[in-house]
Amino acid sequence: MAFESLSERKFRFALNLLGIMIGCAAVTGLISLTQGMNNEITSQMGILGTSTITVIPGTRLSSMLASSQEGGFMGSSGGSSFNPATTSELDWRDIDILEKMHGIDLVVPGVSGGQGTYIRKGVTFSVSVDGITDRYFEINEADEILEGRELLRSDKAVVIIGYSLAYPFDGEEQYLDVGDRIKLTTKVNKKEKTLSLRVVGILEESGSSIGPGGGDESFMIPLRTYEQFFETGGEYTSIQVKAVDPDFIDQLSDEIEDALEGVSVITSELAMSMVDSILGTVEAVLSGIAGISLLVAGVGIINTMTVSVMERTREIGVLKAIGARSSDVLFMFLSEAVMTGIAGGAMGAVFGFMLSTFVGNYVGVTAEVSLSLGTITLLFAVITCVISGLYPAWRASNLNPVEALRSE
């Protein structure tokens, strides 16, 4: 019988450990994953460059940003209530205005959103298509040519392809090379169209499948060619502007917003703060979930320790009879809780890192495995266990020894 209760206790200890471990694994895993995501996005945002301003049509984004930064747009002037938030588009007139402004080095329009398919070596590939100018690479310094060349002013039916299109299946075999010709097929206004293109360049791998005209699975063709093929009517989806002096970028973006009505202006700083706030929310929600699982584990510990104190009442009586102080008994039970916390926290942190690395691999995010996060998790686990164990331990230490010895 004594043996039974012993193994039962071990079982309960194991359950506690599991509870704390799951809680900690959730905390560590989720946080390291969001941190990894944050790192990833931050580094991608860095590509925009500190002196680059991106202008996009519509005021929705800028008013959103303004309200998120200034705490509500009710405070802004009443005149803005009639802002045509959706209508205006970007075209050559905007380029004209921008090129005449002071403090601007370079103006590069771009179009994106095109889709198409082509067949190569019997495989059908679908790609997103962007229209760029020959100045594109001057402003998007992170996009580098691996093989071939950049666009020339005179280029017409040519294409620069993303890395994954040249080496689609883990780089085993090259499917497209500089000089190859392909037929891009798409539907524009419900009619089938085909465009013959010659590959002039292959981009270096960027690691992302999306991005402003630089994804690994996209085509970059000359702007004019894009406009004709996709029948855009001369509208741009974005205009990138390079400021002469990055220090005046905020002032310049204000001026641009005033000069071109109905547009939004994105600087890398603004974009970053937006991403930060979104990721912050995600992280808070995930941490909340993880926190709840730790809380549940804590309640489990309270329960187990209370049972354990009840079971060991007689033992506590014996301890006091042989000279244990109340503080000794308190310490004994608390140290059990601390052990649970250390073991569960450490195992949970390791397990959480393993999980986030695994999941991160799967979704293409490098989870951030940091000693500081592991330490915080461990600390958190120990604190949870101590808080949960405090009341049962206190009760144990305050038992009357005579009563405790009389108990069965």
Partner 1 sequence: MSSIIETVDLVKEYSQGEKSLRVLKGINMKVEEGDFMAIMGPSGSGKSTLLNMIGALDKPTSGTVLIRGVDISTLSDNQLADLRSKEIGFIFQFFNLISRMKALGNVELPMVIAGVPRRERRERASKLLEMVGLGERMHHRPMELSGGEQQRVAIARALVNDPAVLLCDEVTGNLDSKTGQDIMQLMRNLNNEQGKTFVLITHDPVVAQSTDRLVTLHDGEIIGEKRVW
Q: List contacts with partner 1 (CB under 8 A).
A: 2-3, 5-6, 314-315, 317-328, 400-402, 405
Alpha helices in 179-267 (DSSP H): 223-230, 249-259
Quick one: 354 or 405, whose CB is closer to partner 1?
A: 405
Please state, in angstroms and rounded to a whole number, the distance separating the CA atoms of residues 401 and 407. 10
Quick one: 203 or 399, whose CB is closer to partner 1?
A: 399
Smallest gap from Cβ 309 to partner 1, in A, equals: 15
191-203 vs 158-161, strand pairing mode: parallel
Quick one: 6 or 188, whose CB is closer to partner 1?
A: 6
Smallest gap from Cβ 307 to partner 1, in A, equals: 16
Smallest gap from Cβ 5 to partner 1, in A, equals: 8
Element (H, E) at 108: strand 104-120
Smallest gap from Cβ 13 to partner 1, in A, equals: 12
Quick one: 293 or 326, whose CB is closer to partner 1?
A: 326
Query: How far does Cα 32 stand from its chain's mean position?
Result: 11
Coil, strand or helix at 307: helix
- Are the C-beta atoms of 353 and 28 separated by less than 8 Å? yes
The count of other CB atoms within 10 Å of the CB of residue 52 is 22
263-267 vs 104-120, strand pairing mode: unpaired
Burial of 147 (0-12, 13-18, 19+ CB in 10 A): middle
Quick one: 78 or 323, whose CB is closer to partner 1?
A: 323
Smallest gap from Cβ 308 to partner 1, in A, equals: 12
Quick one: 137 or 333, whose CB is closer to partner 1?
A: 333
The count of other CB atoms within 10 Å of the CB of residue 361 is 11
Smallest gap from Cβ 322 to partner 1, in A, equals: 4
